[in-house]
Amino acid sequence: MLSTGSAQTEAKSSDVSSSGKFKTEKEIVSYWGIQPNKIAKEDGTEWKWTSFRPWHSYTANTSVDLNKHHEPVTFGDRTMRWTVKALRWPTDIFFQRRYGCRAMMLETVAAVPGMVAGLHLHLQSLRRFEPSGGWIRALLEEAENERMHLMTFMEVSDPRWYERALVFTVQGVFFNVYLLAYILSPRLAHRMVGYLEEEAIHSYTEYLRDLDSGKIENVPAPAIAIDYWRLSPDATLKDVVLAVRADEAHHRDVNHFASDIHYSGLALKDVPAPLDYH
């Protein structure tokens, strides 16, 4: 005859074997005391996105001036401007008018500078025992916003294997080059990103032109885009591109602003960061 303790052990073993995965997950949650939040939308339906929450979503400010341009003044500015122009040339040849895949590639690169700069400022803040003026958060928000652009365009484009390989290569090279550039000259690094964003605005404007002309089908907006930018349920791809282009314009302004701060002889921490600027 089994003792009470043995019987309980056997019963517990039986529970684990019959629903091992469920039991393990339940025990992990119970042990650490962390319960996954169950979040609902305003209409009561379940919030299904784990990569962002309702309080991270927003309505894009599409009234931002799309025609603003920083006219290069110094030799460094001109170098950054022509570097970005030179990088656009092979991109145009490779992607032609495949703007969905072009946007995907663009966002894998655009999401790097904010993360690199935010990491650099984070470590600098720790070394110097000083605040960042909110710039760490602002730059990481920019990186996350660009990553959400990528998650969106992955729903409307299907990258080929060699495009995925190209992303892997470009990201590895760009991350290290930009990190070195930011360590050597933050003002030039931010200026380059400002010019990259100007080119992004141009690319998305061409994307919109092809959508309006019918060269690209104006399909329904992905569900993730509708929730992230708080678009209407009947929103289309055009609405998504408009929101993304507005985001890029804000990133352009913030990076040129950051560069100007450095050019004026100040550090970023001396000027409050434009948090939640989207």
188-222: pLDDT as tens digits: 999 999 999 999 999 899 999 999 999 889 999 99
Q: Does 253 map to a domain?
A: yes
Distance (Å, whole) CA 221 – CA 244? 12
230-245: average pLDDT: 95
Do 8 and 96 have their domain in common? no
Q: Which residue has the tokens 């003792």?
A: 3
Do 118 and 256 have their domain in common? yes
Contacts of 240 (CB under 8 A, 6+ apart): 152, 156, 221, 222, 225, 229, 231
SS3 129: coil
* Residue 155 pLDDT: 86
Between 50 and 88, the higher pLDDT residue: 50
* Residue 26 pLDDT: 61
* Residue 102 pLDDT: 73
Number of domains forming the structure of the chain:
2
Do 74 and 202 have their domain in common? yes
* Residue 253 pLDDT: 95
Q: Does 48 map to a domain?
A: no
Do 26 and 78 have their domain in common? no
57-61: average pLDDT: 91
* Residue 112 pLDDT: 95
Do 32 and 77 have their domain in common? no
Alpha-helix residue ranges (DSSP H) falling in the chain: 4-18, 20-32, 75-95, 99-128, 135-153, 161-184, 186-213, 223-228, 237-263
Please state, in angstroms and as integers, the Cα–Cα distance from residue 233 to each residue in 177, 203, 223, 229, 256, following that order. Answer: 41, 26, 8, 11, 35
Q: What is the DSSP string of 181-210?
A: HHHH-HHHHHHHHHHHHHHHHHHHHHHHHH
Between 170 and 102, the higher pLDDT residue: 170
Between 6 and 62, the higher pLDDT residue: 62
163-189: average pLDDT: 90
Distance (Å, whole) CA 185 – CA 117? 11
Do 7 and 104 have their domain in common? no
Which residue type, as a one-letter code, is found at position 275? L
- Whole domain around residue 158: which residue ranges? 54-270
Long-range Cβ contact pairs of 80-87 (< 8 A, separation 24 or more) = 80/188, 80/191, 80/192, 80/195, 81/195, 83/192, 84/192, 84/195, 84/196, 84/198, 84/199, 85/199
Distance (Å, whole) CA 117 – CA 150? 20
pTM, two decimals, is 0.83
Question: Is residue 14's pLDDT more than 60?
Answer: no
Quick: pLDDT tens for 181-190: 999 999 999 9
* Residue 12 pLDDT: 43
138 and 275 in contact (C-beta within 8 Å)?
yes
Q: Average pLDDT, whole number, for the chain?
A: 85
Q: Does 207 map to a domain?
A: yes
* Residue 162 pLDDT: 76
Q: Does 30 map to a domain?
A: yes
Question: Is residue 238's pLDDT more than 50?
Answer: yes
* Residue 44 pLDDT: 80
Please state, in angstroms and as integers, the Cα–Cα distance from residue 95 to each residue in 83, 186, 203, following that order. Answer: 19, 30, 11
Please state, in angstroms and as integers, the Cα–Cα distance from residue 117 to each residue in 125, 186, 232, 253, following that order. Answer: 12, 8, 34, 16
Do 210 and 107 have their domain in common? yes
Quick: pLDDT tens for 141-165: 999 999 999 999 888 877 777 777 8
Do 19 and 93 have their domain in common? no
Distance in angstroms between the alpha carbons of the first and the last residue of the chain: 69
